[in-house]
Structure 1
Amino acid sequence: MELRHLRYFIAVAETGSLTEAAERRLFTSQPSLSRQIRDLEDQVGVALLNRSARGVELTVAGKAFIDHARLALTQVDAAVEAARRAAQPAKQRFALGFLTGQEMAWLPEAMQLLRAELPNIDVTVSSDYSPDLAQAVARGKLDLAFVRAEPDFDLEYRVVRQEPLVVLMPSDHALAARAAVSPADLVGEPFIAMANKAKVLRSVVDSYLERTGIRIEPTQCVDNPAMVMSLVASTRGLTLIPAYVENLMPWSVVSRPLAGDIPTIGLAVGYSRTNTSPILKLFLSRLDELIARVSRTVARTS
């Protein structure tokens, strides 16, 4: 069994389509991918996928197999990254990741925190969706990321801030004239929900609506803030989103606070407990200082 068999199988399982996995994820032909999947099933000795005109679904055996396949690839990626670091010991690398938009508040202060170490280390910075960042940390590609506490990854999380959710709406919406929006005001409006990829945020929003007794059927589901803002402006819909997105808003959308019991979502730093980087250890030892610095900055600009 080769690693490519595992990667191909996971791609097919996640897309639910041999054609889509071949063309968009793996850049190979569909017949070639089908042969690779059959080879894998022959080696395992059981069917891992059910194929139909609607696409493919995991069999019971496939569901049992995929978690182990993902873990195997994660361990391989971590081993490769560790080997690469060991081969270049002269200057340590420290790789930081940020949930897109959060770097505006946290990156300047994080660099200040590391200023004494900067001549001796290479700091790399990336931004992405929270689940993708958590996966990169789990695979050893990032040392630490500012993310949601993603439940699907075996990482340590330390919450650095609780962010309130706000209502996002078109700038000329009738509710924009209000100082705050009540949950009942959302009823009857087009509502844009977060897709399942944004699992933590989706759970917070769903729990809040359930707690307040509001039933809303989303008209759209998307998984990134840029698309959310675009749909708010183009479809005149509303959405609930963390307040940090206010830093990214175009003129066509505005935000208003929620009235009453305001829901919050945690921003955390995620890191692997097996990461022995001394720079990571230093960063974590000064995390309380970083939180205080960012809190003071936010308070001055609010």
Structure 2
Amino acid sequence: MELRHLRYFVAVADEGNVTAAASNRLFTSQPSLSRQLKDLEQEVGAELFVRTARGVALTPAGVAFLEQARLALGYAAGAVEAARRAARLSREAFSVGFLTGQEVDWLPRVTQLLRDDLPNIEFRVVSLQSPSLADALQRGDVDLGFLRVEPRPNVRYEVIARESLLVVMPSDHRLAGGAQVDPHDIARETFIGYSDIPHVLRGVVSNYFADQGIEIEPSHYVLDDFGTGISLVSSTRGVTLLPAYVEPLMPRSVISRPLAGVQPTIDIALGYRSDNPSSVLAKVLANITQLVGPGLARARRR
């Protein structure tokens, strides 16, 4: 078994579609990718995928294999980065990554904390989806990340805030008239769910509906970013649950309301490699209280 087989498998698992994985992530042909997956299944001795109406889905064996495949790729990337770190005599750059949209709140705080260091370092900022940002942390491409808790080898997390999930809907939707939305009313609406990519959000929302005794069957799926979710709300006149930080990104045609009763929350965390020798990172970690401010929860401006 080669590492490329694991990369192919993870790409198809993430995309949920062989053709999409071949063209969008692996830049190979669909027949070639299918053969590679078949070779992998023969070596594993179990079927890892089954075909669905939208592409492919993981079998129970595939789900079990995916977790270990991610870890194996993470350890391989870590070995490469460890060698690169050992070869570098100094580190002049400091890279901060943000879950797309979070830079609005957190970048000013980081630059304020590092105001004395910025003239002397190469300060880089990137915005990525949470799983991609976790991978960048694991590889050492990013020193500090503001993201969801995405387990990766050698990556540690410090939860710094908990955001409420809000009901996002068209401004003239029937549920928009009240100050809050009863979660049971959502069951009668077109609901926009989540693909495997924003899996932390998907898990939080699934657990919330299960706790409320509500069964939801999504009619559409947010595949990549929350901008897509907002667009789907506008175009389908459906509803979805999104973190509160998306409020500044919403057009006038879309509105948000809190949920009545117990409100679900989702964590935002600082992520970093445990073996990163950066003195700038050490300064940030030593001053988390200054970065976050008093209290864990953020007060959102509405």
Relative to the length of structure 2, the TM-score reads 0.82
Q: Which residue does the alignment assign to 2:228?
A: 227
Q: Which residue does the alignment assign to 2:148?
A: 148
| Contact in 1 for aligned 2:156/2:272 (Cα 8 Å) | yes
Residues of 2 paired with 1:144 and 1:282: CA distance?
12
Identity %: 53
Alignment of 1:3-82 (within 5 A): 3-12=3-12, 14-15=14-15, 19-30=19-30, 32-33=32-33, 69-82=69-82
Query: How big is each residue's C-alpha offset from its partner over 1:110-138, in whole Å with a ceiling of 9 and x where there is no partner?
Result: 11111111122212111111111112212
Alignment of 1:200-215 (within 5 A): 200-215=200-215
What is the aligned length?
299
SS in 2 for 1:131: helix
Residues of 1 paired with 2:38 and 2:183: CA distance?
51
RMSD: 3.4
Sort the Cα spacing of 1:57 and 1:259 in 2 relative to 1 into closer, same or farther, 3 A. closer
Structure 2: give runs of 5+ residues left out of the alignment: none
Q: Which residue does the alignment assign to 2:161?
A: 161
SS in 1 for 2:161: strand
Residues of 2 paired with 1:38 and 1:215: CA distance?
36
Q: Which residue does the alignment assign to 2:128?
A: 128
Q: CA deviation at 1:25?
A: 2.3
Q: Which residue does the alignment assign to 1:102?
A: 102
Sort the Cα spacing of 1:101 and 1:222 in 2 relative to 1 into closer, same or farther, 3 A. same
Residues of 2 paired with 1:112 and 1:180: CA distance?
36
What letter corresponds to residue 203 of structure 1 in structure 2? G
Q: Which residue does the alignment assign to 1:267?
A: 268
Residues of 1 paired with 2:149 and 2:58: CA distance?
27
Residues of 1 paired with 2:11 and 2:251: CA distance?
35
Query: How big is each residue's C-alpha offset from its partner over 1:137-167, in whole Å with a ceiling of 9 and x where there is no partner?
Result: 1222211211111246653211111111111
SS in 1 for 2:293: helix
Residues of 1 paired with 2:100 and 2:113: CA distance?
21
What letter corresponds to residue 104 of structure 1 in structure 2? V
User: Which deviates more, 26-35 or 155-164?
Assistant: 26-35
Sort the Cα spacing of 1:153 and 1:241 in 2 relative to 1 into closer, same or farther, 3 A. farther
What letter corresponds to residue 178 of structure 1 in structure 2? G
User: Which deviates more, 104-113 or 198-207?
Assistant: 198-207
Residues of 2 paired with 1:171 and 1:180: CA distance?
14
Residues of 2 paired with 1:183 and 1:272: CA distance?
39
